[in-house]
Amino acid sequence: MSPVVSLPELVESITDGAKLIVPSDFNGFYSGVAMEATRALVRRQVRDLHLVALPTTGLQGDLLIGAGCVATMEAGSMFAGEYGVPPRFREAFRRKSIRMIEATCPAIHAALQAAEKGLPFTALRGVIGSDLIKLRDDWKVIDNPFAENDPILLVPAIHPDWALFHAPMADRYGNVYYGRRRELGLMSHASRGALITVERLFDGNLMDDPAYACATLPEIYVSAIAVVPKGAWPYGFADSYAEDTAHIRHYMAEAKSEQGFRGYLDEFVLRGAVAH
């Protein structure tokens, strides 16, 4: 069977209660954010997601939280850059309508590296002494067994069900070129499968081309691909298109109130009035 499917078929795999990992959407260029797939998830009315951000999320996570799709949020931060704190997250956190698992960027990266290697946990430094450890009873500080007076932090591996992101292109064999965004490979290795939207299909086999193979995710990690031009909008995407700053500002203003958010949802998600 071809790994290339329609967008509705791609998001059907993300069922209620799934642990879903998404990349950072800070400035859009940092990672490929599958925003069109996110809107499709909202239309599907998926519920009780455990959303993991690698390592932060802003508009994408806020949209899912505001639409009632998220039960648990795990992230280094909820941050929309110069646009401020995502408003629907702020309200959900204030009302305690979602469970927030406090984390930090290196801990999330390390926990995913443990998962991709098949390890139950990993060790790291740099967090010891922070208040964050007091909030995580699943993190353990132990004595380094190979040295004296050297505490070390152990964090459990993170095993997502699905990685969801947007990439420049894929081939019909299921290989996906992700370019410089190495964390997209990490997400996929740690997850049960990767669901990926792409700008276009590559004519040929990406693994046969040395210029692409070194930054290509092999098909063994890829569960499904959907071709979705401008699939990261309103975020920008690499050199393909710029961030739609006016639209993001519009979202941030509307989402400050429940009524404004519902109006935005109706216009740009449920009725599909995507302005790119």
**Which two tokens mark 92?**
């959900």
Count how many residues are written for the chain. 276
Which residues, at least 6 apart from 138, have a Cβ–Cβ distance to it below 8 Å? 155, 156
Average confidence (pLDDT) per 10 residues, the chain, 276 residues: 92 97 74 94 97 94 98 92 91 96 95 97 92 93 94 97 97 94 94 97 95 96 97 90 93 97 96 59
Q: Where are the domains of the chain?
A: 7-106+160-270, 121-156
Q: Tell me how far apart the alpha carbons of residues 169 and 124 are, in angstroms, rounded to a whole number.
A: 34
CA torsion, ordered 48, 50, 55, 58, to nearest 10 deg: 0
**Which two tokens mark 65?**
């939280």
7-106+160-270: which CATH topology?
Glutaconate Coenzyme A-transferase (3.40.1080)
Which residues, at least 6 apart from 216, have a Cβ–Cβ distance to it below 8 Å? 175, 176, 177, 178, 206, 207
Q: Closest Cα partner for 133 from 111, 155, 113, 114?
A: 155
Give the type of residue at 215.
Answer: A
Q: Closest Cα partner for 268 from 239, 240, 244?
A: 244
User: What's the pLDDT score for residue 88?
Assistant: 97
**Burial (CB count <10 Å: 0-12, 13-18, 19+), residue 156:** middle
Instruction: State which H helix or E strand residue 199 sits in.
Output: strand 193-201
User: What's the pLDDT score for residue 113?
Assistant: 97
**Rounded to the nearest 5 degrees, what angle is found at the Cα of 98, between the Cα atoms of 97 and 99?**
130
User: What's the pLDDT score for residue 272?
Assistant: 61
SS3 243: coil
User: What's the pLDDT score for residue 25?
Assistant: 79
Q: At what angle do helices 59-66 and 87-95 cross, to 10 degrees?
A: 50
Inter-residue contact 197 to 10 (CB < 8 Å):
yes
**Tens digits of residue pLDDT in 11-41:** 999 999 999 999 997 654 556 999 999 999 9
